[in-house]
A and B are shown apart, each in its own frame.
Chain A
């Protein structure tokens, strides 16, 4: 299973963090720091697979963002590259020509999309269209501000 997924900017700023195992805040910060150092230091055209502690690290750079995840030892690294690719495509499908700013200003959407794709460190849905439909339908449940105000409170 995937242990964590991090999105890091080229300057080392965290844009998204998803943890699939229970980790304390302190430990999270430590992992983020170490991942940032490791992954940002890799020269271009390096191998995308690294070893760190007892995890396999798979990372891929898309424009100004590094997608970096930690895997268990039974996981298929090449397939994980496809998983990262698929997530980027899902973001692109939702935002249209996605760029880092989209993920910064709409970070909650990035998480919602992720939650339709991965759960508990495993792949949830292998079809792009199904994820897209799910996101659309969930959006229709979102109501506008005025509707909120007119709803009775409990």
Chain B
């Protein structure tokens, strides 16, 4: 039932009751639809009223519209009415007009410009309440253009007016400076003199204005440093004054003003010894005398602590401040504990030891019910981890992880991993910690956790047995956490033989049969919970076990052949390739599936770890390391091993029996003896060359043809002292990452017997970064019906002929 038909205005009713009537009616609507209907009718009436001539109801109609707007309904048709009302001579209409402007207009609307003139006029109105309306509106929503226009007027009001207007002009100036920073210079003189005002409102506005000016202009900041004694005096007055009913809040005299002054002092004292000295005593006084039993006092103390820690304060004062924070940490009030931790976080780098003293309390806050407190405690705990406390603190963090709110889990896991990375006391502890995290929160860890953990496991060579046992046990318990399952599969595939051996030093060994292990992997393969990537891991692991178990290889064969028709393309490809490995390349299977070398940390895919200059391991070509870190199908692995040295793309037939990955130092004996062995091959005087390889009658020599700062040209020469030709010779080379390698075509691939001929190959090296040049060469050849393959490392090159 709607009372009071909107179109029939009854003059006897007082207008404000009309507004309240409407509100009552709207609130009485029982459904959203009914409410909409009422509001549509009211808005139509309001629109009609707006179009009419002035009948004294305009302000109330606008007020009604503003209420409707607050409920979320459109009210843009009221914008022009605001402009009209602001221009009205009646205070009531101006008041509502300005309110409407602040609610419906913002600087983005064109209509806001239309009120600039009214504001200008009202700023010089005879009534201070009209002036105040204009000042308030300008200070809340003035656009840059309006600010530029009216700034001189504001400056005038800052100097010559009563305190009611001055304080509003000050905050208006603050807004102007935020919008148009260049205008700061205009207000600087007036703001200085405002500091001598007694009125708290004006003083507060002045401090806010000065703060704003100093933050934006370093010259102004320098200027206002001279005002520090004055500010100190004002502050002293507030702190020492007796009870003042007008300004007292819970025993503190005007805490709002005190906090703003402290904030300004902070800016003035920062990086400046003189200013900091001048405020030292005051800060000590405030810190000791302020009663913090209520929020007002704590607010002042909090600001004091922030100031002390940010300026160049005496060490005694700093200690005092940290102690206050420590006290806050023990406060019953959650808010106080929260801000204490926020402040401690700011100083944990610079005053680390001081904060460490409170570690116990901070760690207790991890157990607080409140999410905000927990978050702060987590941040601070992670910042406090050190080599000394890593074991005990990690216990707490892991405990926290098991019950922490979901939005903090990802952050917690990455924090734990970082801490473990930096301070792990032992590899076993490190592995245990990561496994614990994966079991508790494996779904919230970052993607690189899996390769990182695998890398860590490979380096902990003595712990392989222990690790695979732990992971096997974890796997048979629960296969839902993908990251954990992936690592477990990889480990079982790699170290399954250790698992089956049934003995382990570090932990209770399991008594499993080959079938049990294969069962576990097959469970992962078939489970709906396993992601495609996880299934890939499981399949590869199963395949790898074929060289580590003895009885059940047929079972593996059948698994692999079944997945040859899997719908998942990746799995299908792998299965097909593994099948091929079984059928056509069975002789290579053992080599292909043998133990991985220790994975180097500095390869791409690791975000941490710096490359140690010149280490041998660093020389893997980029594409190889990527594949080694993330295990893929063996077909790829075969190619990768073949491509170990990059360079020449000729196919090789490495024989597993004879292949090595030896990285032993080069035996570079003096050339003299060997030249004799090779007979009269070298007739012409040649530049000095070194023998880099000598085996099975095959000798490889290296000579430097040309050398510059950024590169060199070398020639590899292969000779044969056996009585039969060496055939299928191929040479491959690898160099450090930043070096570019180009191998020219070899002169042939047959080395005549008895040293009657040689094969040469030229290699161009371009070294733009001028790193220390090293090279690894792989030789492959067939001699006496054996296929031979060797790798040699060349650490130094002979000097060139010229």
> What is A's interface to B at a CB cutoff of 8 Å?
13-17, 19-20, 22-24, 29, 45-51, 74, 76-79, 81-83, 85-86, 104-105, 107-108, 111-112, 115, 119-120, 122-130, 134, 137-138, 141-145, 148-149, 151, 153-154
Contact partner of A154 (CB less than 8 A), chosen from B72, B89, B129, is B89
Whether the Cβ atoms of B129 and A22 lie closer than 8 Å is: no
Q: Contacting A104 at CB < 8 Å: which of B23, B89, B172, B259?
A: B23
Size of the chain B interface, CB-CB below 8 angstroms: 74
Q: Contacting A120 at CB < 8 Å: which of B63, B91, B139, B298?
A: B139
B790 at the binding interface (Cβ < 8 Å): no
Question: Could you list some 13 contacts between A and B, CB below 8 A?
Answer: A14-B72, A17-B70, A22-B107, A22-B141, A46-B334, A49-B372, A51-B372, A78-B339, A82-B249, A105-B20, A120-B140, A126-B257, A137-B129
Q: Which residues of B contact A79 (CB under 8 A)?
A: 255-256, 259, 299, 303
7 A-B pairs closest in CB distance? A78-B299, A148-B56, A47-B372, A79-B299, A120-B175, A120-B139, A141-B91
Q: Determine whether the beta carbon of B200 is less than 8 Å from that of A127.
A: yes
> Knowing A77-B335, A78-B295, A78-B302 touch, does A50 contact B372 (C-beta < 8 A)?
yes
Residues from chain B with a CB closer than 8 A to the CB of A112 are 95, 99
Q: Known: A46-B370, A145-B14. Contact between A77 and B172, CB under 8 A?
A: no
Main secondary structure of the interface of B (DSSP, over half): helix
B263 with A148: CB separation less than 8 A:
no
- Contact indicator A134/B164 (Cβ below 8 Å): yes
B90–A151 touching, CB < 8 Å:
yes
CA distance A153 to B305 in the complex (A): 59
A137 to B128 CA separation, bound complex (whole angstroms)? 10
* B99 and A127 contacting across the interface, CB-CB below 8 Å: no
Indicate if the CB atoms of B205 and A20 lie closer than 8 Å.
Answer: no
Known: A47-B335, A119-B140, A126-B254. A149 touches B372 (CB 8 A): no
Q: Which one of B171, B178, B246, B339 has the greatest number of beta carbons of chain A within 10 Å?
A: B171
- Check B110 for interface membership: any CB of A closer than 8 A: no
Do the beta carbons of A105 and B23 come within 8 Å of each other? yes
Q: Does B709 make an interface contact (CB < 8 A)?
A: no
| Most chain B beta-carbon contacts within 10 A, residue among A23, A86, A120, A153 | A120
Would you call A122 and B171 a contact (CB within 8 A)? yes
Task: Given the known inter-chain contacts A125-B167, A126-B204, A127-B200, please indicate yes or no for A14 contacting B70, CB distance below 8 A.
Answer: yes
Which residues 315-354 in B have Cβ within 8 Å of A in the complex? 334-336, 338-339
What 18 additional pairs, Cβ within 8 angstroms, besides A119-B175, A137-B129, A145-B15? A22-B107, A22-B108, A47-B335, A47-B338, A49-B372, A50-B372, A76-B303, A81-B335, A82-B296, A104-B27, A108-B96, A119-B139, A119-B172, A120-B140, A124-B171, A142-B92, A143-B92, A148-B56
Q: Does B505 contact A (CB under 8 A)?
A: no
A122 touches B299 (CB 8 A): no
When the two chains form their complex, are residues A45 and B23 in contact, meaning their CB atoms are under 8 A apart? no
Alpha-carbon distance A151/B55, docked complex (angstroms): 11
Q: Which of B146-178 contact A (CB under 8 A)?
A: 164, 167-168, 171-172, 174-175, 178
Instruction: Provide the residues of chain A in CB contact with B71, threshold 8 Å.
Output: 13-14
Cα distance, A114 to B373, chains bound together (Å)? 31
Digitize B62-100: 1 where CB-to-A-CB distance is under 8 Å, 0 elsewhere. 010011001110000000000000000111100110010
B residues 516-546 near A (Cβ < 8 Å) are: none
- Also in contact, A49 and B96, with CB within 8 A (given A76-B299, A124-B167, A124-B171): no
Closest beta carbon of chain A to B367's beta carbon, Å: 14
A119→B172 CA distance, assembly (Å):
8
CA distance A115 to B335 in the complex (A): 28
The complex places the Cα of A20 from the Cα of B107 at a distance, in Å, of 12
Q: In the assembly, what is the distance between CA of A51 and CA of B338, in Å? A: 12
A18 CB to nearest B CB, Å:
8
Q: Which residues from A are CB-within-8-Å of B127?
A: 141
Are A141 and B92 in touch, CB under 8 angstroms? Answer: yes
Asked whether, in the complex, the Cβ of A129 is within 8 Å of the Cβ of B246, the reply is: yes
Name the residue on A nearest B296 (C-beta): A82
User: Across the interface, do A125 and B201 meet the contact criterion of CB distance under 8 Å?
Assistant: yes
The residues of A that contact B701 with a CB separation of less than 8 Å are none
Q: CA of A26 to CA of B128 in the docked complex: distance in angstroms?
A: 36
- Which residues of chain A are near B221, meaning CB under 8 Å? none
B99, A108: Cβ atoms under 8 Å?
A: yes
Most chain B CB within 10 A, of A15, A104, A115, A141, is at A115
Cα–Cα distance between A79 and B338 once the two chains are bound (Å): 14
| Chain A residues positioned under 8 Å from B171 (CB to CB) | 119-120, 122, 124
CA distance A16 to B96 in the complex (A): 15
Chain B residues with Cβ below 8 Å from A19 are 106
Question: How many Å lie between the Cα of A20 and that of B106 in the bound state?
Answer: 10
Closest to B24 in A: A105
The one of A15, A45, A111, A125 in contact with B334, judged by C-beta atoms closer than 8 angstroms, is: A45
Residues of A within 8 A of B175 (CB): 119-120
The answer to whether A47 and B136 touch (CB under 8 A), given A107-B70, A126-B256, is no
| List of A residues within 8 angstroms of B172 by Cβ | 119-120
Q: Which of B239-288 contact A (CB under 8 A)?
A: 246-247, 249, 254-257, 259-260, 263
CB neighbours (8 Å) of B257 from chain A are 126
Most B-side CB within 10 Å, residue of A22, A24, A149: A22
Query: Shortest beta-carbon distance, A56 to chain B, in Å?
Result: 9
